Amino acid sequence: MTSTQRLDTTFGALADPTRRAILSRLTSGEASVMELSRRFAISQPAISKHLRVLERAGLVSRRRAAQRRLCRLEPRPLAEADRWLETYRAFWEARFRKLDTLLDELTAQERARRRPRRAGGGHR
Amino acid sequence: MKQLKGLALAARGELEIVMTREFAAPRRTVFRALTTPELVKRWLYGPDPWMLAVCEIDLRVGGRYRYVWKNRTDGSEMGAGGVFREIAAPERLVQTERFDDAWYPGESLITTVLTEHAGTTTFTATLRYESRQARDTVLKSPMEEGAGQSYERLAQLVTSLEA
């Protein structure tokens, strides 16, 4: 997969609120399908389906421990998706900093305009 | 002076990008800076060497706006524009956006909301795209060739902002 395809898969996996909730749960440690199913009140097959999408996106891995199959969070693709947002954010932040400067100037002008003339200049 | 919140950016659902930022000015001033051509020209550009060469805004419901950015080094241009759908100065603005070179498919709908508290304005822009593919293309744009800026330039920008 190219990096673009990988990111598409990551964002596709993240688009679903249940999958985001599963990931959020896994940030505090491994969990089995049964635990996830109980926690989100969703059938085990439905949880497994979500987990397969997350697994394909590399966001989750599974291992066997005794009788249980445990799912764990794989943070790397998330970090990559985050970097993406960060780059886009930096692009806009640079523009908004120019807007900050402009707004300071406009606010100062408005304040000066509103300030009443000094005593003595106020005939009329 | 109060520390303002920097730009927060999030992908929401499949179709949207939400941008939030605070500005140290009343919202009528912010609204003016967002909708007055001479003022928009002073901030809606960059990184170097891109400048906003054309900025036309017909601020009426159904009125059009048009921006053309020009690269001062190689003379290349990038144009975009759209139509205003809702105008409620100084708190709300809804407009469409479409680029001349359709680098993302279709059109987007931009809803800008300004709220003011104790002289600080919170700016929230929701950018809604026609498809997830379009939304993701926009998010990735700074990293891909042909969509404006090179990744290296942005990497430098990121570094300089962090410095």
Measure the CA–CA gap between B93 and B87, rounded to whole angstroms.
5
Q: Comparing A9 with B26, which gets the higher pLDDT?
A: B26
Interchain CB distance below 8 Å, A95 and B158: no
Q: What is the pLDDT of residue B155?
A: 36
Collapsed DSSP state (helix, strand, coil) of residue A117? coil
Q: What is the pLDDT of residue B157?
A: 37
Query: Does A108 score more than 70 pLDDT?
Result: yes
For B105, residues 6+ apart whose C-beta sits below 8 A from its C-beta are: B130, B131, B133, B134, B137
| Chain B: residue whose CA lies nearest to A17 | B13
Q: What is the pLDDT of residue A2?
A: 65
Chain B positions touching A99 (Cβ under 8 A) are 23, 33, 43
Query: Does A19 score more than 90 pLDDT?
Result: no
Name the pLDDT band for B139 (thresholds 50, 70, 90).
confident
- Pair B67, B60: CB distance under 8 Å: no
Peptide bond into B37 cis (omega under 30): no
Buried b (16+ CB within 10 A) or exposed e, A47-82: bbebbebbbebbbbeeeeeeeeebbebbeebbeebe
Q: What is the pLDDT of residue B24?
A: 93
Chain B positions touching A87 (Cβ under 8 A) are 142-143, 151, 154, 158
Query: Does B125 score more than 50 pLDDT?
Result: yes
Measure the CA–CA gap between A76 and A37, rounded to whole angstroms.
25
Query: Does B161 score more than 50 pLDDT?
Result: no
Q: Comparing A20 with B113, which gets the higher pLDDT?
A: B113
Q: What is the pLDDT of residue A85?
A: 77
Q: Comparing B39 with A79, which gets the higher pLDDT?
A: B39
Chain B positions touching A14 (Cβ under 8 A) are 11
Query: Does A109 score more than 50 pLDDT?
Result: yes
Q: What is the pLDDT of residue A26?
A: 87
Query: Does B148 score more than 60 pLDDT?
Result: no
Measure the CA–CA gap between B67 and B45, rounded to whole angstroms.
10
CB nearest B158 (choices: A87, A96, A101): A87
Query: How far is B161 from chain A, CA to nearest CA, in Å?
Result: 8
Each residue's pLDDT tens digit, A41-84: 999 999 999 999 999 988 899 998 888 889 998 888 777 777 77
Whether chain B has a CB inside 8 Å of the CB on A15: the answer is yes
Query: Does A91 score more than 90 pLDDT?
Result: no
Chain B positions touching A107 (Cβ under 8 A) are 24-26, 29
CB nearest A106 (choices: B33, B132, B140): B33
Whether chain B has a CB inside 8 Å of the CB on A82: the answer is no
Residue whose C-alpha is closest to residue B19's, from B94, B95, B128: B128
Each residue's pLDDT tens digit, B49-92: 889 999 999 999 999 999 999 988 889 898 999 999 999 999 99
Name the pLDDT band for B6 (thresholds 50, 70, 90).
confident
Name the pLDDT band for A25 (thresholds 50, 70, 90).
confident
Chain B positions touching A13 (Cβ under 8 A) are none
Query: How far is A23 from chain B, CA to nearest CA, in Å?
Result: 15
Interchain CB distance below 8 Å, B136 and A95: no
Mean pLDDT of B133-151: 58
Measure the CA–CA gap between A81 and A63, rounded to whole angstroms.
25
Compute the CA torsion angle B100, B138, B91, B46 (nearest 10 deg). Answer: -70
How much is the pTM?
Answer: 0.68
Whether chain B has a CB inside 8 Å of the CB on A108: the answer is no
Average pLDDT, chain B: 84
Query: Does B35 score more than 50 pLDDT?
Result: yes
Q: What is the pLDDT of residue B142?
A: 56
Chain B positions touching A101 (Cβ under 8 A) are 43
| Chain A: residue whose CA lies nearest to B39 | A102
